[in-house]
Amino acid sequence: MTNFLIDKLKNTNSGNFFLMAGPCAIEGEDVAFRIAEKIVTITDKLQIPYIFKGSYRKANRSKGGSFTGIGDEKALKILEKIGKTFDVPTVTDIHESGEAAMAAAYVDVLQIPAFLCRQTDLLIAAAKTGKVVNVKKGQFLSAGSMKFAVEKIVESGNNRVVLTDRGNTFGYQDLIVDYRGLPEMQSFGVPVVMDCTHSLQQPNQSSGVTGGKPELIETIAKAAIAVGADGLFIETHPDPANAKSDGANMLHLDLLEELLVKLVKIRKAVI
> DSSP 3-state assignment of 162?
strand
Which parts of the chain fold into alpha helices (H)?
A: 3-8, 29-46, 72-86, 99-104, 120-128, 147-154, 181-186, 217-227, 256-270
Residues in the chain: 271
Cβ pair 264, 215 in contact under 8 A: no
Residues 6+ apart with CB under 8 A from 240: 214, 247, 248, 250, 251, 252
Query: What is the structure's pLDDT at 4?
Result: 46
Query: What are the DSSP calls for 248-271, one per residue?
Result: GGPEEGGGHHHHHHHHHHHHHHH-
The pLDDT, as a whole number, for residue 8 is 47
DSSP code for 155 = T
Q: Which residue type is seen at 171? A: G
d(CA 54, CA 57): 9
pLDDT of residue 69: 78
Judged by phi (left if over 0) then psi (alpha if -120 to 50, else beta), residue 211 lies in: beta
pLDDT averaged over 10-residue windows placed end to end, the chain, 271 residues: 44 76 95 98 97 89 70 96 98 97 97 97 98 97 97 97 95 90 97 94 57 84 97 95 82 96 96 81
Spatial separation of the C-alpha atoms in residues 84 and 81, rounded to whole Å: 5
CA pair distance 84, 197, nearest whole angstrom: 26
Predicted local confidence at residue 245, as pLDDT: 77
| Contact between 167 and 203 (Cβ < 8 Å) | no
Are 194 and 235 in contact by the 8 Å Cβ rule? The answer is no
CA distances 12 to 17, 23, 157, 199, 224, Å, are 11, 24, 29, 28, 21
In DSSP notation, 81-122 reads HHHHHHT--EEEE--STTHHHHHHTT-SEEEE-GGGTT-HHH
Cβ-based burial of 45 (10 A; exposed 0-12, middle 13-18, buried ≥19): exposed
| 211/61 Cα distance (integer angstroms) | 13
Enumerate the domain spans of the chain: 3-10+18-270
Plot region of 149 (φ>0 → left; ψ -120 to 50 → alpha; else → beta) = alpha
CATH class of 3-10+18-270: alpha beta
Rounded to whole angstroms, how far apart are CA atoms 162 and 122?
A: 15
Confidence at residue 63, expressed as pLDDT on a 0 to 100 scale: 62
